[in-house]
Amino acid sequence: MRGGWSTCSTGASSRSGGGRPRPNKESGPMWRNVLTVMLRRLAADRAYSVITIGGLALGLAGCLLILGYIRYERSYDAWLPGHERVHQVQTTIHPPGQPDVRSQASSAALYDRLSIFPQVEAVTSVAVGKTVSDQNGRPEFIDATTVDRSFFEVFALPFAQGSAATALPDENSIVLTESEAVRRFGTAQALGKVLTTGAGEGKSGKRVSGVLRDLPRDTSLKVGIISLRDWNTMPPDARGWGAFDQHHYVKLRPGANAAALNAALPAWEKRVVFDTMGGALVSMADVLDFRLVPITQVHLGEAQDKAFAPGGDTRALATFGIVAMLTLGMAVMNFVNMTTARATRRAREVALRKVLGATRRQLILQFFAEGVFVAAAATLLAFALVEIATPWIGGILGADLPLAYLGERGMLWPALLLLAATAVAGALYPAFLLSRFKPARVLRANQSAVGTPGDGRLRAVLVVAQFAIAIGLIASTAVIWSQTRFVAQVDPGYRRDGLVQIDNAWRYTQGAEYEAARRAMLAIPGVTGLGRTGLPLGATEKPLRLMRRAGGGEGESMGLYGVDAEFMRTMGIELLAGRLLGDRVALDRVEGLAPAALSARGVNVVVNRSAAAEFGFRSPAAAVGQPVEIAFEGLDMVPARIVGVVEDTRFRTARDAIEPLVYTYDPTRTYIVMVRYAAARPGEVMAALERVWRRFEPELPFEARFADDVVRELYAADRARTLLFAGFSGLAILIACLGLYSLAAFTAERRTKEIGIRKVVGARVRDIVRLLAWQFAKPVVLANLVAWPVAWWAMRDWLNTFDVAVALTPGPFAVAGLLALAIATVTVAGHALRVARMNPIHALRYE
């Protein structure tokens, strides 16, 4: 033993009084001894080492992956040079009778008014749309961004060719990104080349005056082909307070305070916003509130209406953050459980080392170093797992997740912090536990293993906590999965099967040849209906208009949409009362009438069930024939009469409440074509529709999707998050099973002699298996009592974010509990069966 325990000789010499200690000469052998003992211990019990390091690595990897995604979502636009001075002007709209709308768009009238504030250095107006360009002989839509001359003063975007000073000298020039230049010209060297854009009379050639480097995906900007817009040539109605077709961004002066400017905006709005809505019923100053928001907060901000790019979900990020901490917590619990369990096997070793002079401080250092080494090895393995999984998770979420160790988004420092926290939480307590063993009691009883008061209870508590987390995650995953499936299949109020939506068809729907094109499409085998609308499936914009019952009273804001006579029948929307709009009654049609003529003549409308109730009618039948008033764009209240009431429809997501809708027969407000088909092959119908489109619209691309695909895209982000949540829930369950497996092996090993005695006195194999299985089933049963209330509360809160949701029944929670119990039983059964079949003679010789 003298050569094997150098730490003991150090402790003995320190008490012999032979002079001052010499730490420089002793520390080297001591640390070599610590490392030697640690490696031998890990090598001697390979199964323990693999399970402990593997489980901890899985927990750390899962935590790092989730934290990487959260950091990615929270760092949107932080890469922009000078981003701390760039703010977006957002609008809170207070529509009468409706919830507030928080929009990233803002009034066009702000453009030449915000510069009066001394804090503002520059203002830019940005609008996003589409244009057309030929690509290999076929028309193709391109994202088009129109800006003013201050755009590159506010946004210091990186140029690959050209510069901000020479970009966009006139309206005949454009700026592209490198990837767009490669798509259009086959090379990124596109400076000076000419790109033909537009269709019909608007078709023209644009010279490339600059090429930008591709922007990262973590940006709230949408940069397509950037062109110049002359503010002075815009019509007056496009520059008013009610024009919300653009976003405004301001760059503050160095040291300027955005909070001070926001505080001054309400009083300023009262002075300068003077337009009225609905015949002076509502002042625009009372409806609109403007606010500056840092550009880095746009992606996760409350305002997501009219966003250029899909926003993030702060609730989802918070949920993933909790899952990350729970996953890591389970791994640390396993670490503590296994270390404390194995600690009791080292009682004789600790006793002998204390007898030979080792101090408690040295023992704590030894065992703490072992724990830190295990955590460090797990961290290295976690790095490898993160590198493997990051591209896969990024593909699911549609994100360019960073994979770097150093730098602003590097994961080295977060990993080191997690390593330190894990080492302290998982190694410190076992180190103190191991160092507490009393040599006299251990050696007197000739024990190789001994327990300490409370260590069994601690392991039981940790097992309960682990399985409570696992059960809660299983139940939550089941509820989230059920809700994701439910919202995709919920009755939308129209027939979704056999429906095609043709997007971006504004010229087609309003063209002179529409009737001829409509007849050609109806002649396609299987096509049974065709209708035009301004309300597409998955709509994001809400064109609200002020309305009220005839005779006065406060107005209500409702959606106003143009359709044609065939839209309702094509969609399969149920008529509840009255009739639909058609060509036989002159008052049904709106198109072609001057504002004054429309106000003098009036118009017939069809409303949905919610709109009829919003107007105050007790039933759909009671609403038919009743007069109402509608504020069309920029007009006073126009007299209207309800001629029909249709069933509510869900064109948006299930998170949005059913909105009150008013339909007018107005093809000038349509840009979508809906096609109904039956008893035909979908692919053949789509190909035939494209052939007809090419014949009548050769300059515009054919963009059509099946309704099922549109709805599937609406919930793509929800499905991706659900899949990720399920994956990490499975990871947590795997970690729990690893820990339970190892604990079961340890328990079976410790009770070998007891099991031998039981078999000698007549216990059967199934009795032994039942005994050991029930020992671990009890914590799982108790874990259900902890997990169910917490999971139920969390899922109820989450389901309340949807307008329609599945019922929160006991089913998912009971299934989660039974599944956890089954997993625990299967995990333990193997060890229990092996020990129960052991020959009692070998069991009684065990020690």
CB atoms within 10 A of CB 201: 6
DSSP run (H or E) holding 142:
strand 138-147
Residue 246 DSSP label: B
Rg for the chain, CA atoms, rounded: 35
Rounded Cα distance between 522 and 61, Å, is 57
Residue 23 has pLDDT above 50, yes or no: no
Neighbouring C-beta atoms of residue 515, cutoff 10 Å:
9
The band of 455, judged by pLDDT with boundaries at 50, 70 and 90, is low
Residue 820 scores a pLDDT above 70 = yes
Identity of the amino acid at 267:
A
Assess whether pLDDT exceeds 70 at residue 282: no
d(CA 1, CA 9): 10
Tokens of 296: 């880095």
The conformation of residue 149, written as its DSSP 8-state character, comes to T
d(CA 112, CA 363): 74
What is the reported pLDDT for 43?
67
Contact 554, 637 (CB under 8 A): no
The first and second tokens of residue 511, run together, are 């063209």
Do 519 and 710 form a contact (C-beta atoms < 8 A)? Answer: no
CA distance 480 to 677: 34
Question: Using an 8 Å Cβ cutoff, are 339 and 426 in contact?
Answer: yes
Name residues whose C-beta falls within 8 Å of residue 68's C-beta, 6 or more positions apart in sequence: 386, 390, 401, 402, 411
Are the CB atoms for 834 and 747 separated by under 8 Å?
A: no
Q: Are 337 and 462 in contact (CB under 8 A)?
A: yes
- Among 163-177, 276-290, 553-567, name the most confident range: 163-177
Handedness of CA 715, 720, 721, 722 (dihedral sign): positive
Tell if the pTM clears 0.85, that is, is over it: no
Contact 355, 439 (CB under 8 A): yes
CA 293 centroid distance within chain: 21
43-73: pLDDT as tens digits: 666 767 787 888 888 888 888 888 888 888 9
pLDDT single digits (tens) 245-275 = 899 999 999 999 999 999 999 989 888 886 6
Q: Looking at per-residue confidence, does 99 or 689 come out higher?
A: 689
pLDDT tens sequence across 308-329: 888 888 888 888 888 888 888 8
Min mean pLDDT across 248-252, 353-357, 629-633, 718-722 is at 353-357
pLDDT at residue 154, as a whole number: 95
Of all residues in the chain, the percent with pLDDT exceeding 70 is 82
Long-range CB contacts for residues 713-719, cutoff 8 Å, separation at least 24:
713/538, 714/538, 714/653, 715/484, 715/487, 715/488, 715/653, 717/310, 717/313, 717/398, 718/484, 718/487, 719/484
The residues, ordered by sequence, that sit 6+ positions from 771 with a Cβ below 8 Å of its Cβ are 758, 832
End-to-end Cα spacing for the chain: 22
Quote the pLDDT of residue 367.
73
The H or E element spanning position 345 is none
Query: Can you tell me whether residue 785 is helix, strand or coil?
Result: helix
- pLDDT tens-digit series, residues 484-498: 889 888 889 999 999
Res 158: pLDDT: 93
List, in sequence order, every beta strand (DSSP E) within 284-345.
Answer: 288-294
On the question of pLDDT at 654 being above 70, the answer is yes
Which of 88 and 739 is assigned the larger pLDDT?
A: 88
CB-based contact 469:329 (threshold 8 Å): yes
Alpha-carbon distance of 49 to 55, in angstroms, equals 10
Count of residues making up the chain: 847
Residues 329-351: pLDDT tens digits? Answer: 888 887 777 776 666 566 666 67
d(CA 772, CA 776): 7
Q: Where are the domains of the chain?
A: 44-67+315-485+717-844, 83-297, 499-712
Question: Model confidence over 756-775: pLDDT tens digits?
Answer: 777 666 667 677 777 777 77
Please enumerate in sequence order all residues whose Cβ is within 8 A of that of 678, keeping only pairs 6 or more positions apart, or say none: 498, 526, 528
Average pLDDT score, the chain:
82
Cβ-defined contacts of 318-323 (< 8 Å, 24+): 319/725, 319/798, 320/66, 320/69, 320/70, 320/721, 320/724, 320/725, 320/728, 321/66, 321/67, 321/70, 323/66, 323/473, 323/725, 323/728, 323/729, 323/732
d(CA 535, CA 471): 43
Please report the pLDDT score of residue 782 as a whole number. Answer: 87
Q: Are strands 661-665 and 556-563 parallel, antiparallel or unpaired?
A: parallel
